[in-house]
Amino acid sequence: MPDSNWTARPWHRDWLKDRANALFDLFQHNAVNPKGGFHDLDAAGRPFGTIRHIHQTARMVHCYAIAVKLGRPGAATIVDHGMRYLWEGHRDTRYGGYCWSLDDEGFKDDSKQAYGHAFVLLAAADAAMIGHPLAKKLLADVTDVINIRFWDANYGAVSEEYARNWAKISDYRGQNSNMHLTEALMAAFEATHDAAYLDMAKSIARLIIGRHAKDLGYVVAEHFDEQWKIDRTYKGSDMFRPAGTTPGHWLEWSRLMAQLWVLDGRKEGWMIEAAEKLFRSAVSHGWDKTQGGFYYTLDFSNQPALTHKIWWPATEAIGAAAFLNALKPDRFYEDWYRKVWDFSALHFIDPATGGWFPELGEDLKPVDRFFTGKPDIYHALQACLIPLFPATGSLMKAVG
């Protein structure tokens, strides 16, 4: 009997569903903050802290909107809780837009970040696909904010960050916010069939991948100046903007480029070519051939910089390998799909909680350096679900 893909095997599919349900259970029962939004979870999966970040609120909406489509009891309540907090908490009724974080007293960090607005757009699009009553006005509002405040038609991408009153904070431009906006724009296109969203997604992809990543041999540069010239000297500021390059983002872009190719009618061959080359580049340069796992960052010579292993690049490798193998069947993708799941099952998945350890040290034991507790559900859940559904677009679309 031929060695079939894992994604075709009933036992493996059941195992993926079990891992997804463990994540749904963990966050559904522990993350809901009765004062609004969602708690962070500590290493044992217990709620802690009072600060709610916009991307975490929106990601919970995204994940539980998928759960609604899957038919998971209780998921609609989570979506409603998150949507109300986006509209009544994060939304700035004075200056417009959506603020980065809140605590029990109000805005904690009142800056307006493109990264955060990308996830609000994703949440609104997903909520629209399940008919949530707030979805249309949230989608219309955040779309206007992105178009008016962030979109730079001269370059076909978004600027990065502003103060609460929309005063410019810096001239920094980042691929990470634009990458997640590409994901959100595709979801908005699926929800509305408005081609303007898809055109914006293609514009960003052409700049970040078709121009810059291609020029670097399918290495994704992270940091840019106001004219979208690569800033190789950028020293890094936090976990969202580490210095150098981040192989996990090459993997994330790999899947997004394949998805964009499908949504655009498979018309532009460079998109799927880029998807395949990004994947191969990431596993070639980013995988630790001795210990296993993906290095968090590399320098511009593709040598390891931050060597700790972070959970989310592994999840993105799983999703990309499954998506590409469905579109362009190749034993190479199947082998990497199995290899990364083997590593993740042995080292990242916490059997005590069903969550994932966010970070491993040099000895592959959990450590707290860049991340603590149990990270948000978004990355790990998608790794469990993407392999279960056809490679026809986003999970929301594929679930049906």
Q: Are 160 and 175 in contact (CB under 8 A)?
A: no
Q: Say how far apart CA 105 and CA 334 lie, in whole Å.
A: 49
249 annotated active-site: yes
Q: Is 379 one of the annotated active-site residues of the chain?
A: yes
What token pair was written down for 126? 């997903």
CA 248 to mean position of chain CA atoms? 10
- The Cα 396–Cα 126 span in angstroms is 7
For residue 189, what is the DSSP state? H
Q: Residue 162's beta-bridge partner residues?
A: 112, 168
Q: Could you write out the DSSP letters of every residue in 51-62? A: -EEHHHHHHHHH
Picking from 249, 171, 181, 261, the residue whose alpha carbon sits closest to that of residue 216 is: 249
What residues are paired with 106 via a beta bridge? 103
Give whole-number Cα distances, 53 to 59, 85, 146, 339, in Å. 10, 11, 19, 33
Given a contact cutoff of 8 angstroms between Cβ atoms, the answer to whether 260 and 274 are in contact is: no
| Catalytically annotated residue among 39, 53, 180, 249 | 249
In the DSSP assignment, the letter for residue 100 is S
State which H helix or E strand residue 108 sits in.
strand 106-109
What are the tokens at 233?
């000297």
Helix (H/G/I), strand (E/B), else coil: 29: helix
Give Rg (Cα) of the chain: 20
CA dihedral 225, 229, 231, 232 (to 10 degrees): 180
Distance in angstroms (rounded) separating the CA atoms of residues 123 and 169: 26
State the catalytic residue, choosing from 62, 90, 212, 379. Answer: 379
Give the span between the Cα atoms of 208 and 179, in whole angstroms: 8
Smallest CA-to-CA distance from 320 within 348, 370, 281 is with 281
Active site residue ranges: 249, 379
